[in-house]
Amino acid sequence: MTPGVEPQTFASERALVLSTLERDQLVKAKQRRVPRRRLKGREIGILWMLRFYVIFMMLVVAYQFWIAAR
């Protein structure tokens, strides 16, 4: 078996199976839980910096609206 053929065959078989399922069977098949990922310290730090950046930019936009309204 070649590695390039397997994923394509699997994807086409999966599409065929999902297209033949009834609505409630399809919903049940799609309800697959994905476990939460454990983040490392660097990833957590980046997410916190992103949060601060978003809050800072919201304040900048609010300030610009306030200045423009004066």
Q: CA 14, CA 8: separation in Å to the nearest integer?
A: 10
Pair of tokens at residue 17:
């199976």
Q: Residues 6 or more apart from 28 whose CB is under 8 A from it?
A: none
Confidence (pLDDT) at 7: 58
Regions of the chain where pLDDT drops below 70 = 1-9
Q: Helix, strand or coil for residue 38?
A: coil
Confidence (pLDDT) at 3: 53
Confidence (pLDDT) at 67: 96
Confidence (pLDDT) at 9: 62
C-beta atoms surrounding 21 within 10 Å: 13
Confidence (pLDDT) at 1: 45
